[in-house]
Amino acid sequence: MLRKFLRVFGIGALVCGGMLSLPCSKSEAAVMTPPFATDTFSSSFDVCLYLVPSYIMQPNEVLIRVKGSDFPGTSTTVRREVNATPGFFGTDTVNTEFQSMRLAGGVVTPGPFFGTPVQFKVGQGTGFRPGLGRSPGQVAENAGPLNGQLDVFPANSQFDLFLDVWVDINVDDLVQDGEVLRNYDQSLRMANPTLNGFPPPVGDFYELIGWVGPSDPQLGEFGAFVNTSRINFYVVNPDGTNSNILAAQIDPIDADCPHTHTITPEPTSIVLFGGLMIMPILRRMRAGNRTLPV
């Protein structure tokens, strides 16, 4: 199930690998410089994960598709620089960073994991376990003028995401040992080459196009080297340290399953969340009174 969930996760709007391989003027891994602005927006996701046989105790990997939206009462928060500097293609560029993102949904693929709750958390120190790293990014204008302000849209936007994933494999509504996963050695490169504003307007979407290594000197920047092999998610130890227990994978170039993160109006997010979670909620009501997912 975890494998399938990882494969489902993504943000929708593809930026080609060739563009991302072009050098940017900065080489400090998207270091933020004040002053800052904070943008919030509602979103939904569609992700596919490949669950590793040894993790789910099955002979073959299992592909699961997960859909969901903002956890009720939350929204994505992104911090960005106010002042732009010359960068990508010689146009105005600002550094950005996910401060927080909490998404919740369930497995929609028929099978043994159908309806199983899944949650994602992004933002340094905001995961299910301690130790989650920062998720930096950049936004660059696709055209001039070079005036020190990012004011020409559509623009090119991307993030390198490190996230915690909770998959309730044993379906007991608790985040517990063995059910928290993290991509600590391969960041998800999410891209949108046609960003229409700050914050992203309804309908804009990001797509998973590959991964960037955490030691890349241009992590979070357009000039980083983007790989397209599978992205690994490992079980996180209770103290937040990383284990070598591989639990799931996401395939960035999987043609059979999207990896998208779409900006949505709040009412749509609520409806989507309710629709996706009704099956696991009903299942738990039948099993008796239990606490809701953390």
d(CA 219, CA 291): 39
pLDDT digits (tens, 9 = 90+) for 104-150: 999 999 998 999 999 999 999 999 999 999 999 999 999 989 999 99
179 pLDDT band, cuts 50/70/90, is very high
266 pLDDT band, cuts 50/70/90, is low
28 pLDDT band, cuts 50/70/90, is low
Is there a contact between 28 and 85 (Cβ–Cβ < 8 Å)?
A: no
- Across the range 214-227, mean pLDDT stands at 96
92 has which bridge partners? 86
171 pLDDT band, cuts 50/70/90, is confident
- Across the range 247-269, mean pLDDT stands at 82
Beta strands 155-161 and 135-141 are: antiparallel
Is there a contact between 30 and 219 (Cβ–Cβ < 8 Å)?
A: yes
d(CA 27, CA 217): 6
d(CA 87, CA 84): 9
157 token code pair: 């936007």
pLDDT of residue 9: 39
Q: Name residue, tokens 């369930």.
A: 106
Q: Which amino acid is at 175?
A: V
pLDDT of residue 25: 38
Q: 3-state SS of the chain? A: CHHHHHHHCECCCCCCHHHHCCCCCCCCCCCCCCCEEEEEECEEEEEEEEECHHHHCCCCCEEEEEEEEECCCCCEEEEEECCCEECHHHCEEEEEEEEEEEEEEEECCCCCCCCCEEEEEECCCCCCCCCCCCEEEEEEECCCCCCCCCCCCCEEEEEEECEEEEECCCCCCCCCCCCEEECCCCEEEEEEEEECCCCCCCCCEEEEEEEECCCCCCCCCCCCCCECCCEEEEEECCCCCEEEEEEEEECCCCCCCCCEEEECCHHHHHHHHHHHHHHHHHHHHHHCCCCCCC
Is there a contact between 168 and 116 (Cβ–Cβ < 8 Å)?
A: yes
pLDDT digits (tens, 9 = 90+) for 48-107: 999 999 999 999 999 999 999 999 999 999 999 999 999 988 999 999 999 999 999 999
288 pLDDT band, cuts 50/70/90, is very low
Is pLDDT of 280 > 90?
A: no
62 has which bridge partners? 51
Is there a contact between 192 and 204 (Cβ–Cβ < 8 Å)?
A: yes
Q: Which amino acid is at 166?
A: W
pLDDT of residue 229: 97
* Sequence spans of domains, the chain: 2-287
